[in-house]
Amino acid sequence: MRLVTWNINSVRLRAPLVHRLVDEIAPDVLCLQETKVMDELFPHDELAELFPHRHARGMKAYNGVAILSRIPFTATGGDDWCGRSDARHASVTFEGGVELHDFYVPAGGDEPDPEINDKFAHKLRFLDEMTAWSGAQANPEAKRILVGDLNIAPAENDVWSHKQLLKIVSHTPVEVDRLQALQASHDWVDAVRHFIPDSEKLFSWWSYRSRDWRESNRGRRLDHVWVTPALTKSLKGASVFDDARDWTKPSDHAPVVVDIDI
């Protein structure tokens, strides 16, 4: 199975790019974040030929997640977090019991202080709830995949400058600590770093502010694919498809690709 996670930044605006993505890298399952559309307006008709199985949880203009698949799934779901119905989690279960969870973690605003920034406080609460949820179902035999825009670049080589971004939301120590706690709660394996060593710079997001994003390369690795230990041996490869960042009217995120035998 070729699994792709992509913060598409409006699925209706960029539905043609989904077609191009399918033509170029042929994902079997595509997990989207920031779809920015209510469920009743999701472009099912436009995407049905590409992905006959679809599960979307959305809201008007903000957030939203969707799982599009060529492979049938036997169940769908998704939880609300921090007492808000803001469409940040969707899940499906495939035959054989493999669960797939698609998340869009809050970005956290600009000021990394929960006392003065409610958005940052929300982000930390969200991560704490995810950790409690993950830990409560931890099982060494469970076959689970967690993907999405987690809005944290945890390692030094997941950002263009570790020193310059230490006080910037998405790379602060408090966020990294929260993400590491989440990862430890179920012994999640970072499927991308499983193949691409920590010593190598690796990004999945580049700001729209840069005129030449490749030249400046001031990126961050905000998009992740994790698997439980029971699926580690099933991992076959991983990459960031950064060509998509050069497309016309692109998302500021690039698709992250993981090949896995389920």
- Give the CATH number for residue 222: 3.60.10.10
Give residue 210's pLDDT: 87
pLDDT in tens, 156-166: 999 999 999 99
Please give the residue that has the higher pLDDT: either 262 or 114.
114
Q: How confident is the model at residue 125 (pLDDT cuts 50, 70, 90)?
A: very high
Domain range holding 28?
2-260
Mean pLDDT of 143-164: 98
pLDDT in tens, 67-80: 999 999 999 999 99
Number of domains in the chain: 1
pTM above 0.95, yes or no: yes
In angstroms, the CA 154 to CA 192 distance is 13
Q: Does residue 211 carry a pLDDT above 90?
A: no
Beta strands 73-77 and 89-94 are antiparallel
Q: Does residue 66 carry a pLDDT above 90?
A: yes
Q: b or e along 66-97 (b: 16 or more beta carbons within 10 Å of the residue's beta carbon)?
A: bbbbbbebeeeebeebeeeebbbbbbbbbeee
**Position of tokens 């808000």?**
84
- Identify the helix (H) or strand (E) that includes residue 110: none
Give residue 99's pLDDT: 98
